[in-house]
Amino acid sequence: MKVYETGDIRNVALVGHGNSGKTSLIAGFLFAAGATTRLTRTEDGTTITDFDEEEIARKITISSAIAAAEWNKKKINLIDTPGFNIFINDTKATMVAADAALVVVDGVAGVEVQTEKVWSFAEEFNLPRAIVINKLDRERSSFDRALESVQSVFGRTAVPIHLPLGPEREFNGVVDLVRMKSFTYTPDGDGKGKEAPIPDNLADAAQTAHEALVEMVAEGNDALMEEFFESGTLPAERILEGLRDAVRQMRIFPVLCASGLHNVCSDLILNFAVENFPNPAERGPWKGALNGAEVDRAVKDSEPVSAFVFKTIADPFSGRVSYFKVVSGIVRNDANLVNARSSAAERLSHIGGLFGKTIAPVTELHAGDLGGVAKLKDTLTGDTLGEKGSLIAYPPVKLPEPSIAYAIAAKTRNDEDRMGQAVHKILEEDQALRFYRDPQTKEFLLAGSGQQHVEVIVSRLKKRYGVDVELHAPKIPYRETIRGKADVQGRHKKQTGGHGQFGDCWIRMEPLPRGEKFAFGNEVFGGAIPKNFIPAIEKGIVEAAEKGYLAGYPVVDFKVIVYDGSYHDVDSSEMSFKLAARKAFKAAMESAKPALLEPIMNVEVQAPVEYAGDLMGDMNGRRGRISGMDTKGGTQIIKAQAPMAEMLNYQNDLTSMTQGRASFSMEFDHYDFVPGLQADKIIAAAKAAKTGEEEEEE
């Protein structure tokens, strides 16, 4: 692979809703640029950027991938990103490496939920962007309808620079509204159009659209506006100049046409990217921390070397593969750099440019370029590598916490021995995952963005590492507490041969505010209980609380004060008072109005507006409380609080209710009382389970 200077590099992310055709578009771009000899997927489902075994099997993009193409002597790093909500976090994590975005919209469906989400990511990263209305060759596709959808959501600054030639299956080219020429294509051709005059039936529409484009281009530029008022139009070269500035200043978001499947307009879109999208240096400096102070680092070869690792691949053969963006300086093969987080030295052996699953060797990568390297020892996603004397650290991308967790258990002892290491490798690759052990239920939990996300990880564990695991719904970490007060005695007396056992304590129990857990106080006076036995009483209370009273769940948010008691000079011991405290705890729970607590989750649902009524009705049926609603474009955002127990199957139900067009996130907020009817069922189930365990032991 050739080496490119910063000014000759374009880093372009293709983002959009799932099934909008991003991967097919990239396949067309690569074919048009001569980077590949095939246009469509191979028989086994592989493309250059969809090479993971799960992507091949499911025929969707699960993880971002990058492929470089040369066009007009420029290098375009094309970033293919996932579009389904459960994998969308990977899109956000990878967009940090982009300098512009092509937002892909389905010509049939128009703007969808994830289209708006990736648009918000682009706004967050301040990325110039254009919109590609794709799949215009499909049945029921409509450029006008899709454009109306785009402009209703993103505003009038989304302005067409193309008009399609031919409806649906007859779509075979476009009118270029800047140069006022048409270009036609051969289906499944090389993606390079043949220039032709504008058809008569489109002449008026093209002229109207051209005038609207010229007006939008001139609107934010005083010199162009003056020229426009004087002559009533602008020459093509002035439109191109104004369009380039407007795109980079994000005053205009041009709308282009395409068919990725049949390779229509690949050349025009590549031309657009080279001419209008900024090179990495033109985006401005990166902000980072140097010696504890925030500094700006310019994207230049002359600056000290720094590289940001934006993605990690766990390859079973190559080991850890790190994708990085050279922010400053020139990264050369066999460079010795330092990890800003861990201070570990790293040698970058065999660096290369990215082309799907392969890393094409290069001698060096200039500022702004994207590259890959295998087998870094201590570098993970979000880390910065740099020179020791000027070690800057760039902030990692913040991703939302996983929305749903499943209990994971190895099928065999052999799987159990290897599960931890295999999961750890996958965690390095996927920043949206969490793996932990619930201290209360003692289960290992794998948390992700949705059920399908977790299922993909389980499949990878088996295919990559030969580890077989089972998933099941996690146990709900219920807790117990008290609503009232109690004043009781706990007395333990046992006489055997030799020394007996004697402990006697009086305690007061009262509830604490939610989340206060446990407090212990000592008001014993006059030596009724020796001081050395007081810790044993506290320990006895704590141990009894861990085992629960109603259903075996830990008791929380209560206070115990020991205020009186008695002891025996010979028979009293720490164990005696611990046992007395357990009896006191049980007696107190009987009269302190014990109750069950359940975890309440903060839930945020994003769905098309037309589903809002059904979703709110469903949430009420889950004992949820709607706490807020907001509308953003065509998306309804519903905020609610709902019990965790009612949300375990929400992912599947939400998909069913909205035909897969909605997404949700969920995080723990607080504990609250379980209603009486549900509490009775939980207590009965816990007692039945305990009885069953005792019978098995017998």
Q: pLDDT digits over 471-491, tens only?
A: 887 778 889 999 999 999 999
Mean pLDDT score, 280-294: 92
| Contact present, 87 and 117 (Cβ < 8 Å) | no
| Residue 648's CATH number | 3.30.70.240
491 lies in the same domain as 535: yes
Confidence of residue 113 (pLDDT cuts 50, 70, 90): confident
Task: Look at residue 563 and tell me whether its pLDDT is greater than 80.
Answer: yes
DSSP string, 646-657: GSTTHHHHHHHH
576 lies in the same domain as 648: no
Confidence of residue 137 (pLDDT cuts 50, 70, 90): very high
Task: Look at residue 323 and tell me whether its pLDDT is greater than 60.
Answer: yes
User: What pLDDT, on the 0 to 100 scale, is given for residue 698?
Assistant: 46
415 lies in the same domain as 510: no
Whether 214 is in a domain gets the answer no
Task: Look at residue 120 and tell me whether its pLDDT is greater than 70.
Answer: yes
31 lies in the same domain as 161: yes
635 lies in the same domain as 488: no
| Residue 577's CATH number | 3.30.230.10
Whether 272 is in a domain gets the answer yes
Task: Look at residue 54 and tell me whether its pLDDT is greater than 70.
Answer: no
User: What pLDDT, on the 0 to 100 scale, is given for residue 633?
Assistant: 63
Mean pLDDT score, 268-281: 96
User: What pLDDT, on the 0 to 100 scale, is given for residue 294?
Assistant: 92
| Residue 336's CATH number | 2.40.30.10
Mean pLDDT score, 621-646: 88
Name the residue range of residue 640's domain: 597-677
| Residue 21's CATH number | 3.40.50.300
Whether 517 is in a domain gets the answer yes
Mean pLDDT score, 415-419: 83
Task: Look at residue 391 and tell me whether its pLDDT is greater than 60.
Answer: yes
| Residue 450's CATH number | 3.30.70.870
Last residue of a domain, one of 356, 390, 424: 390
At 373, give phi and psi (nearest 5°).
-155, 145
User: What pLDDT, on the 0 to 100 scale, is given for residue 460?
Assistant: 85
Last residue of a domain, one of 571, 592, 613: 592
**Hey, which residues does 504 pair with through a beta bridge?**
491, 566
Task: Look at residue 43 and tell me whether its pLDDT is greater than 60.
Answer: no
Mean pLDDT score, 11-19: 93
Mean pLDDT score, 368-372: 96
Whether 204 is in a domain gets the answer no
- What tokens appear for 325 in the block? 């963006």
257 lies in the same domain as 156: yes
Q: In the chain, how many domains are there? A: 5
| Contact present, 282 and 21 (Cβ < 8 Å) | no
Whether 246 is in a domain gets the answer no
What are the start-end ranges of the H helices in 565-625?
574-591, 612-621
The single-letter DSSP state of residue 321 is E
Whether 321 is in a domain gets the answer yes
256 lies in the same domain as 295: no
Question: pLDDT tens for residues 250-269?
Answer: 999 999 999 988 899 999 99
The lowest-confidence range among 34-43, 47-56, 131-140, 532-541 is 34-43
Is the model more confident about 416 or about 441?
Answer: 416
Mean pLDDT score, 445-468: 83
The lowest-confidence range among 7-16, 549-558, 579-588, 644-653 is 644-653
Give dist(CA 166, CA 168) in Å, integer: 7
Give dist(CA 510, CA 649) in Å, integer: 37
Give dist(CA 127, CA 119) in Å, integer: 9
526 lies in the same domain as 604: no
585 lies in the same domain as 609: no
Whether 244 is in a domain gets the answer no
Whether 42 is in a domain gets the answer yes
Last residue of a domain, one of 283, 306, 338: 283
261 lies in the same domain as 344: no
125 lies in the same domain as 22: yes
410 lies in the same domain as 278: no
